[in-house]
Structure 1
Amino acid sequence: MTYGTMAAPESNPRANAALADGCEVCNGWGSVITFQGRYELCQACQSPTERECHDSG
C-alpha cells in the first residue's frame, strides 16, 4: 500500500475539437508539435481570444 501518492498531471493538453474544426494551422486537430518537439494546443484555434471570436459569430 502506498501513502501520499497523487495522480500524475495530464501530460498532454486537451484540445477542443469544436474549436479546431476547419483550422488550417492544425488541420482540425487542435494541437501542434513545435520545433522543439513539444505537444501544444494550436494558438490559432485554441487560444482564449479566438474562442471568444468563435462564440460571438
Structure 2
Amino acid sequence: MAKASLGAIRDWRISEHVTFGLGGLYAVNFIPSGLTAAYGADPAGAMAFVRMKLQ
C-alpha cells in the first residue's frame, strides 16, 4: 500500500501569543489489486481542520 498527500495551512496572529489557523489535506491511497473489492479502485480522502497555537 502507498499513500500520497498534499496539505496546506494558513495562520493568522490574533494576539501577541496566540495564532489561529485553517487548513486542509487531500490524500490518495494506492492499494494492491487483491484489496480492490474491499476498498474500491483508488480510495481518496480529504480533511479540513482548525488549530490554535499558544506561543
Q: Fold match, TM over 0.5?
A: no
Q: Which has the higher strand share?
A: 2
Q: TM-score, normalised by structure 1?
A: 0.25
Taking CA–CA contacts closer than 8 Å with sequence separation of 6 or more, which of the two structures ends up with the larger relative contact order? Answer: 2
Q: TM-score, normalised by structure 2?
A: 0.25
Larger Rg: 2
Q: Which has the higher helix share?
A: 1
